[in-house]
Amino acid sequence: MGRVSGFCAVACLLFLVPGQAVVAAVESPELRLGGTVEPIEYEIGLWLDPRSETFTGSVEIAVTILAPTEVIWLNARDLEFDTAAIAVGEGVVGVEVIEGAEGYVGLKLEQPLLPGTARIRLDYSGRARKDEVGGLFRRQVAEDWYLFSQMEALDARRAFPGFDEPSYKVPFKISLTVPEGQTAFFNTPLESRTEGPDGSTTFHFQKSKPLPTYLLTFAVGPFDVVDAGTAGRNKTPLRIIVPRGKSEEAKYAAESTKDILELLEDYFGSPYPYEKLDQIAIPNFGGAMEHPGLVTYGQTLILRDPDEDTIPRQRRFANVCAHELAHMWFGDLVTMEWWEDLWLNESFATWLSNKILDQWQPDWDRDVSIVRRRNRALRSDTLTSARQIRQPILSNDDIDNAFDGITYGKGASVLAMFELWIGEEKFREGVRSYINTHAHGNATARGFLDALEVEAGKGVVSAFTTFLDQNGAPQIHAELTCPDEGKPSLLLSQRRFEPADSPATSTQTWKIPVCVAYGVGESRARQCQLMTERQMTMELDSPGCPDWVLPNEGMTGYYRVSLSVEMLDRLLEDGGSRLTVPEQVGVVSDMNAMILAGDLTEGDALRRVPQL
Ligand SMILES: [Zn+2]
């Protein structure tokens, strides 16, 4: 890092007042940038050669100065700065680049800046690593080299200096200069290309819609492009971008994306929010990432020789594709304000992808997958150290830790439970209202819950937050009473589910939307009621004493059920034929939990499982 001198013309002197009180802290931030300077938009030029471990960049950020500022702090990691200056009006003021805490640099101004606008200009170089993922990284396939990027959560700062937090959502104008024979891709469509005298090509991309830094992505290499037609209300062009020679392997992805995107548009009642949809295969990479306009996938997930393709592989791709495309609305169009609300991205994409696949391919048994996901989340939520869905972020490690089974699985299960309680239609209206209100902006949990409350009007906020803001899961014990006269009733009592040998004895309670299924003879009925206290009596609107009662209809509710041996027998009579397959899967999991809690012996459980 070096010191860079500059000059200040008369015009900029108007903005600089020596001796003015300085508000911005000189100490480096460690977790969040603070709020005296905000970006308006970026222009970034990158010189990227996939064969080279280093790259160079030039960034210009238009910013708003909100309060007198002596040091502008930016996120930057493993970057070397060559020049740095700040333009104010027609003038330029020199700055010194100072080192901050890990992931931060400061631009120390010769004189404090007063509120107004300015442009930060930085030339720098960085590293595109070969064997790691994060920021810019490279892959070699035979003699070919490729360059990709993965910014989420905190690695955009390795690719360019900036405001690397999700709330700073602004447009980006990107140019990528690459060597001869290479093609470059970005989130937005190509606007123009220019050839350099050295054979290089500069790809100029259209200015993006407002995006947070973690959603930007770049790709450079000798790619082949598979045209997958258009889809949806705006006839969005679809392409699959593959390493050279792999076009045939994109067949299934090219055929299936259109249907998935159109089902998502129908759910949201709004068109796909970006100009194009490319999906790109990355060799030797795991997972996928929801970059708007340029979704990245591990190659084995999205590509397969059609002669060797398998149904499980196709289902895996469709599931991930539906998840990533659901993010185009949940996360991309509406972005969490801060990482503690990562569930607004991941819980929603996980929940909606199952729903979409169930509509698209009903014989794929996604309803069973949903209950399995609930079972897995409940298991990990047993730990006293389990995270909350919405866990406060106190350090950068907390951001990484937020990408876990609680955010994805528990969050999705809780959404499914509230959807069942509120009703599919009202829930969808709440989702649409939330998306429309915050489109191209940011949101918090409150924004979603308020939208839901308007549609449902059932005290959703206070109930939902008992699942969002505390860890663990409730277990509901149910007892059926059938008096000689009057309606049958269920006495329900809740406590935190804990293994019998657990040292902790929790006093937690939840506000639980309890949906009960029960049957008399051949008929099956359902009844829902919000359980707000430790105990609740639920009068069943049944003509007689039910033959069986399942206090978790569909087993989608995010709570364990504990039943007496007698109630289990009535439930599982006739081999559990009264239950759906997902319910059978859920009941077995809850019986296992009853054993752990000491509410059922292994012998009693084993004697009943063969009935299923
Ligand atoms: Zn996701």
Average pLDDT, integer, range 203-214: 98
**What does the pLDDT look like over 389-406, one tens digit per residue?**
999 999 999 999 999 999
Q: Is 228 exposed, middle or buried (0-12, 13-18, 19+ CB in 10 A)?
A: buried
The type of residue at 137 is F
- Quote the CA–CA distance of 284 and 142 in Å, as a whole number: 13
Whole-number Å distance, alpha carbon 205 to ligand 1 midpoint, is 26
Whole-number Å distance, alpha carbon 441 to ligand 1 midpoint, is 18
**Given pLDDT bands bounded at 50, 70 and 90, which one contains residue 365?**
confident
**What does the pLDDT look like over 549-563, one tens digit per residue?**
999 999 999 999 999
Q: At residue 374, does pLDDT exceed 70?
A: yes
**What does the pLDDT look like over 237-257, one tens digit per residue?**
999 999 999 999 999 999 999
- Quote the CA–CA distance of 602 and 605 in Å, as a whole number: 5
Nearest to 1 by CA among 89, 97, 109, 77: 97
Tokens of 535: 């105990």
- Quote the CA–CA distance of 354 and 487 in Å, as a whole number: 38
Query: How much is the ipTM here?
Result: 1.00
User: Hey, which residues does 4 pair with through a beta bridge?
Assistant: 95
- Quote the CA–CA distance of 382 and 500 in Å, as a whole number: 11
Rounded percentage of the chain residues whose pLDDT exceeds 90: 87
Whole-number Å distance, alpha carbon 279 to ligand 1 midpoint, is 15
User: Hey, which residues does 225 pair with through a beta bridge?
Assistant: 241
Whole-number Å distance, alpha carbon 238 to ligand 1 midpoint, is 20
Tokens of 172: 């980006």
Q: What is the pLDDT of residue 16?
A: 38
**What does the pLDDT look like over 502-522, one tens digit per residue?**
876 789 999 999 999 999 988
**Given pLDDT bands bounded at 50, 70 and 90, which one contains residue 20?**
very low
In the chain the first and final C-alpha atoms are separated, in Å, by: 68
Which of 70, 152, 249, 324 is catalytic? The answer is 324
Whole-number Å distance, alpha carbon 536 to ligand 1 midpoint, is 37
Q: At residue 590, does pLDDT exceed 60?
A: yes
The type of residue at 239 is R
Q: What is the pLDDT of residue 576?
A: 84
Under 8 Å between Cβ of 604 and 564 = no
Whole-number Å distance, alpha carbon 578 to ligand 1 midpoint, is 35
Kindly list the strands in the beta sheet with 183-185, ordered across the sheet, starting from the edge strand earlier in the chain: 135-141, 144-150, 219-221, 183-185
Whole-number Å distance, alpha carbon 74 to ligand 1 midpoint, is 27
Rounded percentage of the chain residues whose pLDDT exceeds 70: 95
Q: Are strands 474-481 and 560-563 parallel, antiparallel or unpaired?
A: parallel
Whole-number Å distance, alpha carbon 289 to ligand 1 midpoint, is 7
**Residue 324 annotated as catalytic:** yes
**What does the pLDDT look like over 155-180, one tens digit per residue?**
999 999 999 999 999 999 999 999 99
Q: At residue 428, does pLDDT exceed 80?
A: yes
Crossing angle (nearest 10°) for helices 445-456 and 424-438: 140
The mean-pLDDT minimum among 112-116, 190-194, 322-326 falls in: 112-116
**If you write DSSP's letter for every residue of 24-73 in order, what string do you get?**
S-SSPPSS---SSEEEEEEEEEEE--TT-SEEEEEEEEEEEE-S-EEEEE
Under 8 Å between Cβ of 406 and 340 = no
Whole-number Å distance, alpha carbon 331 to ligand 1 midpoint, is 9
**What does the pLDDT look like over 118-130, one tens digit per residue?**
999 999 999 999 9
Whole-number Å distance, alpha carbon 445 to ligand 1 midpoint, is 17
Whole-number Å distance, alpha carbon 517 to ligand 1 midpoint, is 32
Whole-number Å distance, alpha carbon 330 to ligand 1 midpoint, is 9
Side-chain-side CA neighbours of 511 within 13 Å: the count stands at: 15
Q: At residue 2, does pLDDT exceed 60?
A: no
The type of residue at 17 is V
User: Hey, which residues does 281 pair with through a beta bridge?
Assistant: 297
Q: At residue 535, does pLDDT exceed 60?
A: yes
Angle at the Cα of 318 from the Cα atoms of 467 and 217, rounded to 5 degrees: 80
Ramachandran area for residue 403 (φ above 0: left; ψ -120 to 50: alpha; else beta): beta
**Given pLDDT bands bounded at 50, 70 and 90, which one contains residue 75?**
very high
- Quote the CA–CA distance of 4 and 107 in Å, as a whole number: 10
Q: At residue 24, does pLDDT exceed 50?
A: no
Q: At residue 12, does pLDDT exceed 70?
A: no
Indicate the average pLDDT of the chain: 93
Q: What is the pLDDT of residue 607?
A: 85
Whole-number Å distance, alpha carbon 349 to ligand 1 midpoint, is 6
CA distances from 245 to 141, 148, 241, 242, 278 (A): 11, 18, 11, 8, 18
Strand locations in 232-382 (E): 236-243, 277-282, 288-289, 294-298, 334-336
Q: What is the pLDDT of residue 610?
A: 63
Q: Which residue has the tokens 């702090």?
A: 73
Q: What is the pLDDT of residue 22?
A: 38
Q: What is the pLDDT of residue 156?
A: 98
Whole-number Å distance, alpha carbon 290 to ligand 1 midpoint, is 7
Query: How many helices (H) and strands (E) in the chain?
Result: 15, 29
Tokens of 120: 């930060």
Q: Is 316 exposed, middle or buried (0-12, 13-18, 19+ CB in 10 A)?
A: middle
Tokens of 612: 């299923």
Q: What is the pLDDT of residue 612?
A: 58
Side-chain-side CA neighbours of 119 within 13 Å: the count stands at: 14
Q: 360: how many CB neighbours lie within 10 A of its CB?
A: 16
Q: At residue 227, does pLDDT exceed 50?
A: yes
Average pLDDT, integer, range 150-154: 97
Q: At residue 11, does pLDDT exceed 90?
A: no
Nearest to 47 by CA among 143, 225, 145, 174: 174
Map out the domains of the chain with their CATH numbers.
334-468 (1.10.390.10), 474-611 (2.60.40.1910)
Average pLDDT, integer, range 94-115: 94
- Quote the CA–CA distance of 555 and 515 in Å, as a whole number: 9
Average pLDDT, integer, range 522-532: 95
Whole-number Å distance, alpha carbon 420 to ligand 1 midpoint, is 23
- Quote the CA–CA distance of 571 and 612 in Å, as a whole number: 10
Q: What is the pLDDT of residue 573?
A: 86
Q: What is the pLDDT of residue 131?
A: 76
Whole-number Å distance, alpha carbon 327 to ligand 1 midpoint, is 7
Q: What is the pLDDT of residue 13?
A: 33
**Given pLDDT bands bounded at 50, 70 and 90, which one contains residue 501?**
confident
The type of residue at 427 is F
Nearest to 238 by CA among 249, 225, 227: 227
